[in-house]
Chains A and B, each alone.
Chain A
Amino acid sequence: MKHLLSINDLSKSEAIAILDTAQELARVSDGPMKKLPTLRGRTIVNLFAEDSTRTRISFEAAAKRLSADVINFSAKGSSISKGESLKDTAQTLQAMGADAVIIRHGASGAAQRLADSKWMSGAVINAGDGTHEHPSQALLDAFTIRKHLAKSGEDLTGIKVVIVGDVLHSRVARSNVLLLAKLGADVTLVAPPTLLPVGIESWPCKISYDFDSAIIGADAVMMLRIQQERMSEMFFPNAREYSRYFGLNSDRVKVLKPTTLVMHPGPMNRGLEITADAADGARSVIVEQVSNGVSVRMAILYMLLAGAPEGELVGITREVGAL
């Protein structure tokens, strides 16, 4: 595994290995010394061509806890705003010796383009590309679900997850469906037909237009943000009607089991897809998702950067256990 571009890059066992590693790394974050020497001397660039709070600072915190050097680079205030191409930007980063680039970009496939190009040799981590994928978010969501509802070292077989909202514009939804299905969970997408992408029938999940019947028996309910910045036309008549049919409010929370997790990748439109009392209620793990994000991203960086680059293993003759 050289890059993390899509959940499809991961096998089931690799995904479980990342979750297990994250669990061990979480102990470090809880301990008195939050810094590990593992990635000392490595340079990681946060290349954010789109706005982000959680993902960027989470990757930055993860890299710093592993002692990597972090360069933050956002479109605003850089030459990207002067019209510099992705190629020229990437070559600049290569010239500075970046070992990994964490890229968020408004264009679907931007991370793939960067990884396939010969513009730079480092690892590429997709931190969200357009409406395509956001693999680190899916991994942290799976980590959060597993922490509460399943055992470490295991997959998510039999766990019922309902993902609700703007699936059409959501990279989080696609990555989550792919990962949760890979891990054996039973995933249902709930959205108005206008907010489901073409080709949704081929996704490994069920589809429902009725939130109230879908949440019965759910183990986790994941709300998606209505992405107004990506909406150029009307997808639903008005916000009040959307909230009535697809918003998580206290009446719907009452139907949930006491153990059901309420999740949201953030940022939330409070009052639109989720009400304040649902977001801040006892079942909500939304804030915990953020702290789990740091551990999961540490695990991703560890898996991609700590070992030898593929095909460049230095000859070591000794048995691992005999050291």
Chain B
Amino acid sequence: MSLALPAPDITRALTRISHEILERNSGSESITLLGIPTRGAHLAKRIATIIEGIEIVPVQVGTLDITLHRDDLRMRPPRALMPTLIPPLGVEGRNVVLIDDVLFSGRTIRAALDALGEIGRPKSVQLAVLVDRGHRELPIRADFVGKNLPTSIDQSVLVHLTELDGADEVLIEGGVK
């Protein structure tokens, strides 16, 4: 197991992503941040806090559960659903930024786009991830990336966050490096 991203780097990456989101959308007025549970939801909250620190206005932030839209539902035991919390202004006509911890096959994001489509029609959908580890199986890319981590397919990337795991770190496990 090797440390790919220590805590200070995670904070720096999130701060940079926050600035990039603001730059792309000319401020925070039109954006709605939606984290994909569980770790994406915590990252969304952190990014919202950073943006609120920069712009001094509240940010629309929520969570989007994608379980019911997964394409691998029938390949695993049933999973409990996570909360979907859409902030008061909704997604209609907003610039929605989806936030997740790791971008891998892209299937989670495809499911998230389907889940989002059921809620409304955003003006645009952008994607922010803490780690992009490659090995995409679908034509999906991230707009904001904390760190590109080249990995081999047999490795796994573990994201630990203080809120859930007691510490901030990104680890790479297994495989031959």
B73 contacts the other chain (Cβ, under 8 Å)? yes
Q: How far does the alpha carbon of A308 sit from the alpha carbon of B81 in the complex, in Å? A: 16
Chain A 19-52 per-residue mask, 1 if CB under 8 angstroms from chain B, else 0: 0110011011001110011100000000000000
- A308 surroundings in chain B (CB, below 8 A): 74-77
B157 contacts the other chain (Cβ, under 8 Å)? yes
B104 contacts the other chain (Cβ, under 8 Å)? yes
- B81 surroundings in chain A (CB, below 8 A): 20-21, 24-25, 302
A314 near B75 with CB under 8 A, answer yes
B11 contacts the other chain (Cβ, under 8 Å)? no
Known: A313-B75, A323-B107. A21 touches B80 (CB 8 A): yes
A32 near B120 with CB under 8 A, answer yes
Chain B residue with the shortest CB-CB distance to A35: B118
User: Would you give the shortest CB distance from B99 to chain A, in whole angstroms?
Assistant: 14
Q: How far does the alpha carbon of A20 sit from the alpha carbon of B154 in the complex, in Å? A: 34
Binds A, one of B2-10, B19-27, B47-55, B64-72: B64-72
Tally chain B residues at the interface, Cβ within 8 Å. Answer: 34
B72 near A322 with CB under 8 A, answer no
B119 near A20 with CB under 8 A, answer no
Tally chain A residues at the interface, Cβ within 8 Å. Answer: 30
- A316 surroundings in chain B (CB, below 8 A): 72, 75-76
Q: How far does the alpha carbon of A270 sit from the alpha carbon of B124 in the complex, in Å? A: 54
A31 near B105 with CB under 8 A, answer no
Chain B 90-106 per-residue mask, 1 if CB under 8 angstroms from chain A, else 0: 00000000000110110
Known: A20-B81, A32-B120, A36-B68. A321 touches B159 (CB 8 A): yes
A24 near B104 with CB under 8 A, answer no
- A36 surroundings in chain B (CB, below 8 A): 68-69, 118
Chain A 310-323 per-residue mask, 1 if CB under 8 angstroms from chain B, else 0: 10011011111111
B133 contacts the other chain (Cβ, under 8 Å)? yes
B78 near A302 with CB under 8 A, answer yes
A307 near B80 with CB under 8 A, answer no
Q: How far does the alpha carbon of A207 sit from the alpha carbon of B21 in the complex, in Å? A: 63
- A25 surroundings in chain B (CB, below 8 A): 81
User: Would you give the shortest CB distance from A14 to chain B, in whole angstroms?
Assistant: 10
Cross-chain contact of B102 among A33, A306, A321 (Cβ < 8 A) = A321
- A323 surroundings in chain B (CB, below 8 A): 102, 104-105, 107-108
B29 contacts the other chain (Cβ, under 8 Å)? no
B156 near A319 with CB under 8 A, answer yes
Q: How far does the alpha carbon of A31 sit from the alpha carbon of B69 in the complex, in Å? A: 16
User: Would you give the shortest CB distance from B15 to chain A, in whole angstroms?
Assistant: 23
21 residue pairs bridging A and B, Cβ less than 8 Å apart: A24-B84, A27-B84, A28-B68, A32-B119, A36-B69, A37-B69, A38-B68, A38-B73, A302-B81, A304-B78, A308-B77, A313-B77, A314-B75, A316-B75, A316-B76, A317-B154, A318-B105, A321-B38, A322-B133, A322-B156, A322-B157
Interface residues of A (CB under 8 A from B): 17, 20-21, 24-25, 27-28, 31-33, 36-38, 302-304, 306-308, 310, 313-314, 316-323
Interface residues of B (CB under 8 A from A): 38-39, 65, 68-69, 72-84, 101-102, 104-105, 107-108, 114, 118-120, 133, 154, 156-159
In the A-B complex, the 7 residue pairs with the closest CB atoms: A307-B78, A24-B81, A33-B118, A314-B75, A307-B77, A38-B68, A323-B108
